[in-house]
Structure 1
Amino acid sequence: MALKGKLEAELELKASADKFYSIFRSQAHQVPNATPDIIQHVAVHEGDWETHGSVKVWKYTVEGKAEVFKEVVEFDDANRAATLVGVDGDVMKIYKTYKGTFQVTPKGDGSLAKLTMEYETLTADAPPPTKYFIMMINMTKDIDAHVVKA
């Protein structure tokens, strides 16, 4: 029996919600510059950098291992949320469904990022995607630092 789950975290960011969201909304090609130790490359596979439903392929390193992730992006501009829905790649060998959401809301001079990872494993003995969630948290911190410096 497969297991369904959700991981959530909130992080306070120094970057404004609009600046942080714009990275995912229209500048995903900048992510490898912001977090080179984690993300080495991202390319548009179908669509473009800004269109809801576009497909991107990410090359990244998690726990010292090079992996690939192919996703369809969903944007919710009203709530400044970008969701990366897994469709192929290394994570899809373990998870039937895999969806990571980056949502930011204004807070003071900065913003609050709510990170959510929803998943369903292919098998009952598959681990939760904790290592990928930690990667998501570290990406968020790196992107925040990059946006603040720019």
Structure 2
Amino acid sequence: MPLSGTIVKQVNIKSDGDMFLETFRYRPYHVSQMSPGMLKGVDLHEGEWGTVGSVIVWNMLQVAKEVIEAVNEENKSVRFKVTEGDIMEAYKTFAVTIRVDTHEEENVVTWTLDYEKVNEYIPNPDRLMELALNVTIDVETYHLLHLQPH
């Protein structure tokens, strides 16, 4: 079983794709309000929300301290590199990229998990991908109910 891998999953959303990405980039602390069953809280430890080099701590099934590694305005993507926390007990490296493709009323959110396991006995991060997909649904539902014109 290889130690390094990439998992990519896509979710179609009807809510505004740009708003979805902006939530994760500039206001991730709102995600815990939008998906309280999945996230307990999100805190900024260094820098400013949405800027490369900022350090954010996500308290979910596991705690993950992440740094915003890259922002691509043209590609509508944000990449987070996990630097500390429970996840790093199982993975030497772990990064999450969120990309949004907007197509009029239909938008696609792509989650990419890049990882290197500590050893061959560590499972692939399928549970973390499932968490990301569930959070996507919660954030979309919140946006459709509260932020979009009816």
Q: Is the CA contact 1:2–1:123 (under 8 Å) kept in the aligned structure 2? A: no
Match of 2:52 in 1: 52
| Runs of 4+ residues deviating >3 angstroms | none
Q: Does 1:129 align with 2:136?
A: no
Match of 1:68 in 2: 63
Distance 2:99 2:83 in 1: 21
2:137 is aligned with what amino acid? K
Distance 1:27 1:111 in 2: 20
Q: Can you give the 5+ residue segments of structure 2 that lack an aligned partner in the other structure?
A: none
1:22 is aligned with what amino acid? E
Match of 1:107 in 2: 103
Match of 1:77 in 2: 73
Structure 1 vs Structure 2 CA RMSD: 1.4
Partner SS state of residue 60, structure 2: strand
Distance 1:142 1:110 in 2: 17
Q: Can you give the 5+ residue segments of structure 1 that lack an aligned partner in the other structure?
A: 62-66
Shift of 1:2: 6.4
Match of 1:146 in 2: 142
Shift of 1:103: 0.5
Q: Deviations 1:39-88 (Å, cap 9, x if unpaired)?
A: 11110011021211100011112xxxxx2110001321211111121000
Shift of 1:148: 1.8
Match of 2:12 in 1: 12
Q: Deviations 1:7-64 (Å, cap 9, x if unpaired)?
A: 1111100112211111012111111111100111110011021211100011112xxx
Q: Is the CA contact 1:43–1:57 (under 8 Å) kept in the aligned structure 2? A: yes
- How many residues end up aligned between the 2 structures? 145
**Higher-strand-fraction structure:** 1
Question: Percent of counterpart pairs with the same letter?
Answer: 29
